[in-house]
Amino acid sequence: MGEVLLRVEGLVAGYATPVAGPLAFTLRRGEILGLAGPNGAGKSTLLKALWGGVKVFAGQVRKPPGMRISHQAQGFTDLRGIPLTGRELLALTGAPSEGLPPWLAERLGLRLDRLSGGQLQFLRLWACLMAPADIVLLDEPSNNLDRAGVDYLADWLGRAHAGQGIVIVSHDPALIERVCTRVVQVDAGSAQG
């Protein structure tokens, strides 16, 4: 059993008012935990609550001191007109380019606004996933990815994540089932795992 990275107890989170939880789980190094559930259940809100990105109304998130968290959020920052290359993007988070799929590795020198939505999504995902971190939080990582992208991501997660603890939020049950070592079901109103 790997080191405990996160211990979540009775977590209720939201913005002006609570919108998600309660949620309870423990994440260990080497685990990939899936948060599954329907749209609107508050999965993304709970993911943000793990590092203090939203208001916590009840419960707590405990982690050893010095834990580095990397969070891949849903949605795109508008990068049109910003002359930033894929290589420069990876350098920002400290992510290496080794291991990228060939169809993306050969395009690293291009500006991000010259990439397709799927290529940009995979690159953003890679920049967060491979940033030096103990805990990686992925929010709907398969959005905008084609079958090849999802397959590459799933294969990579299956064989190369041992050093980290990963929490994945997804409404895609196939991805959750394929890559996660454990799944917590998040329903509107309650969550336990």
Partner 1 sequence: MSLDLLFDPLFRLPFITGLLLAGLLPLIGMYLRLRGEWLAALAFAQMASAGALVAMVMDVPMLLGGALAALVAALVKGLMARAGAHAYALMMLAAWGAGVLLVANHPLAEQAGHALFDGQLYFTGEAHLVASVVAWGVAAPVLGWLNRSLLLAHVFPEFHRARGLDPRPRLMVFDVLAGMVIALATVSIGVMAAFALVFVPPLIASRFARSWRAGLALAALVGMLGYSAAFVLSLGFDQPFGPACALLLVGLVVVSSVKSDRL
Is residue 41 within 8 Å of residue 188, measured between CB atoms?
Answer: yes
Number of residues interacting with partner 1: please give it, by CB under 8 A. 28
**Exposed, middle or buried: residue 173 (CB in 10 Å: 0-12, 13-18, 19+)?**
exposed
Among positions 44, 45, 70, 119, the unique one binding partner 1 when judged by CB under 8 A = 70
Q: Does 137 bind partner 1 (CB under 8 A)?
A: yes
Our CB check for partner 1 shows the closer of 1 and 75 to be 75
Q: Does 68 bind partner 1 (CB under 8 A)?
A: yes
Is residue 83 within 8 Å of residue 109, measured between CB atoms?
Answer: no
Among positions 18, 26, 29, 51, the unique one binding partner 1 when judged by CB under 8 A = 51
Is residue 170 within 8 Å of residue 36, measured between CB atoms?
Answer: yes
Amino acid at 109: G
Residues near partner 1, by CB under 8 A: 48, 51-53, 68-71, 73, 77, 79, 81-85, 87-89, 92-93, 109, 111, 124, 127-128, 131, 137
